[in-house]
Amino acid sequence: MAKVTINTADITGNLNRANMDAIRNNFISFRNVVNDNYDLFTIHQTTQTNAHTAKQIKVSNLYTVADNLDWLQALIDNLVIGANGDGIAEVKEARVSIYDKKAYQTVNSRLKVDFEGFTKDLETFQNDIKQDIADVKAIDNRFEPRTDRFNYLMTLQANDPHVMQTFLIGTGKDVYQTQANGDNYILSHKNQSGEEVSKCVVESGGHGTQIGYAGGYFYSNMRDSSGAFKLVRFKYKANGTAKYSDPETEDVFVGGNKGLYVNPTIDPYNDIIVFRIGTGTDTPIKIEVRKLSEILNKVDKVLYNFTIPQSLSSASQPMQGVEYDHDAKTLYWLTGTSDPNETNYLTAFDVTTGKQAWQRTVAISTYYTAGGFMEPEGMQLWRSPDTKKKGLIIGYSTGLANDRKHLLFGVFQRTVLEELKGAQFGTSGRVDALPVDATRLSQITKTGRYYLTTAQAMKLTDFPIPLIQSSGWYLNVYEKSGANGNMRQELIRNSYARTALALDRSIDPTNKEYGVWNLTPKYSEGADRPPASVKKLADLAYAGLNWYMTGDDSKRMTDFPRNDGISGWFIEHSASGTDNVVVQKVTRNSNSHYMEIYARTIATDTKKAGQWSLFKSELV
């Protein structure tokens, strides 16, 4: 196609002959270019054969003429024509559907049947997979307190023989338990294995049948100085007493229930507090479901309220536990007595209607029954802080006062039981390591078997015999007694060459009282020699502890009469008197010389020693 050439150089602002000639020539150029382009376009439309390539022409948005030609060529290349004109056996075979095994007139119709059939099967398969996934999720999220069996979770240890009233498992899986004690109740703290760590007396708190916990406070009913009922929140005091008069004890707003007997159940995950109002003795118990944040801000707003039938708070079916599931809008109500032959019930109420949704019996195996006593005591809907899955846990007190046990059972969503049990301490065939922050043996009061490396043992400031501290030691902490909560600590030296010395003592971890260490005499072919740092026999004195010093060792002992290195010597210590005084006896080791025995008294605490006495013998 030609281009237009314009002459502008000779065109000026003056209309002279030169300008007119330039303009004329430009118009001639326009005419020639337009005519040439017309002729070329006419040829392009009619006779020109090389105007475009196949790749430049699109059949649709999907492919070009070149693509279509390639496809057609592939068909031609693969086209097989039989001698009889209707194709060979391979083509006929291709017309048979692999889906329904039928022969079709064309391959295309056969492919259509296969495609539609397999598409339908794929949809069915996908639906089956979706249903399988839904079934797995349903199993994973299954929570059926109405029908599922209650499984054993753990046993709570308590020094006090009274029956449990209720319990709370925290997000850290520590446990708090209440026990009635006259007009007060005992709130005790357990570790993850159910062992008591400390306790707090809640003064004028009643029996502690129902408590709540949120934001670092325990919520409970208390009586004030005038004897009036108050719903309060208070701070736990380890081995102390929580009182209404304490500065940190605060009244909790109860709306229109002021002066009534109000007990709380708290769901901190959903900002819910449930009021149980009244005792059910004279009038029915009322239930109110409220927002905890609104209660703390003194907003008198009730989400749901209804009345519990008096048959479920009677002498034959007393209330033993209350819990609320905000997800299901369900209140759980536990009733029963201590007679194992009587039926205990778990009743569910729909809080939106106040009507009973269902009721079931709660049957725990007689394997756990002891002394003809088994009373349901407390209930909690526990949620995992990690997965938010839940379990409905109920407590039981079994056995008589001298053999009282407190057991927890539950119905759990999948993994919750394993999570709670996994928090309980087990050895897996190995002793436990000493806690890394331990600096005193008196800190180790959790039942278990530990191992102290030499480095760990050397850091302990209350090790009973520093002279023998440099070694590995097994530390056994035995279970508490049922009567007073006392425990026993035992140290056993780990040594191949020396005597496996053993020491033990009684401790009361609740009251922080620790008995004296007792050395259990042990004898072996391995001997304990005085450490090289010891320069006096007085420094070796400990009730029941024996040593052997060589002649060279004796030369260091500045307080020994025979420090001339003449012989080896056996060093023995008697039991201690009431004033920490022992007899230190040093006997000469000789086969040919008569026996020499030196003895004196010495105080093991002050190292103040008496005069030496020499006992000579005669050879026979």
Residue among 183, 137, 182, 188 at smallest CA distance from 159 = 188
CA–CA distance, 149 with 154 (Å, rounded to integer): 16
Phi-psi region of 519 (alpha: psi -120 to 50; beta: other; left: phi over 0): beta
User: What pTM did the predictor assign?
Assistant: 0.64
Instruction: Say if CB 389 and CB 405 are below 8 A apart.
Output: no
Residue among 29, 26, 42 at smallest CA distance from 2 = 29
Which residues have C-beta within 8 Å of that of residue 239, sequence separation ≥ 6?
Answer: 198, 199, 200, 510, 511, 512
Pairing of strands 432-433, 448-452: parallel
What secondary structure letter does DSSP report for 149? P
For residue 4, the model assigns a pLDDT of 60
Residue among 182, 255, 264, 163 at smallest CA distance from 217 = 264
Structure tokens at 430: 């190995």
Beta bridge partners of 598: 586, 614
Pairing of strands 196-202, 240-242: parallel
Which residues have C-beta within 8 Å of that of residue 403, sequence separation ≥ 6?
Answer: 370, 371, 482
Instruction: Say if CB 323 and CB 379 are below 8 A apart.
Output: yes
Q: Which CATH class name applies to 151-422?
A: mainly beta
Burial (Cβ within 10 Å: 0-12, 13-18, ≥19) of residue 208: buried
Where are the chain's structural domains? Answer: 1-51, 151-422, 432-520, 537-616
Nearest 5°: the CA angle 401, 405, 408 is: 145
Structure tokens at 315: 């002498």
Instruction: Say if CB 394 and CB 378 are below 8 A apart.
Output: yes
CA–CA distance, 173 with 422 (Å, rounded to integer): 10
Structure tokens at 184: 């007060």
Instruction: Say if CB 190 and CB 174 are below 8 A apart.
Output: yes
Structure tokens at 181: 């004690």
Residue among 197, 177, 88 at smallest CA distance from 480 = 197
Beta bridge partners of 234: 218
Positions of the chain with pLDDT under 70: 1-15, 61-62, 71, 74-90, 423-430, 482-483
What does the chain come to in residues? 620
For residue 324, the model assigns a pLDDT of 97
What secondary structure letter does DSSP report for 258? T
Residue identified by tokens 């060792």 is 553
Question: How many CA atoms lie within 13 Å of 2's alpha carbon, on the beta-carbon side?
Answer: 15
CA–CA distance, 311 with 356 (Å, rounded to integer): 13
DSSP calls for 291-303: EHHHHHTT----S
For residue 10, the model assigns a pLDDT of 58
The alpha carbon of 186 is separated from its chain's Cα centroid by a whole number of angstroms, namely 26
Q: Phi/psi of residue 350, each to 5°?
A: -80, 110
For residue 79, the model assigns a pLDDT of 58
Residue among 526, 563, 565 at smallest CA distance from 548 = 526
Burial (Cβ within 10 Å: 0-12, 13-18, ≥19) of residue 205: buried
Instruction: Say if CB 547 and CB 538 are below 8 A apart.
Output: no
Burial (Cβ within 10 Å: 0-12, 13-18, ≥19) of residue 141: exposed
For residue 88, the model assigns a pLDDT of 62
CA–CA distance, 159 with 197 (Å, rounded to integer): 10
CA–CA distance, 322 with 286 (Å, rounded to integer): 12
For residue 12, the model assigns a pLDDT of 60
Structure tokens at 211: 């408590």
CA–CA distance, 607 with 573 (Å, rounded to integer): 13
Q: Where are the alpha helices (DSSP H) in 251-310?
A: 292-296
Sheet holding 151-156, edge to edge: 151-156, 405-412, 390-398, 374-383
Structure tokens at 201: 């007396």
Which residues have C-beta within 8 Å of that of residue 221, sequence separation ≥ 6?
Answer: 205, 206, 210, 229, 230, 231, 232, 261, 262, 263
Which amino acid is present at 407? L
Which residues have C-beta within 8 Å of that of residue 359, sequence separation ≥ 6?
Answer: 345, 346, 347, 348
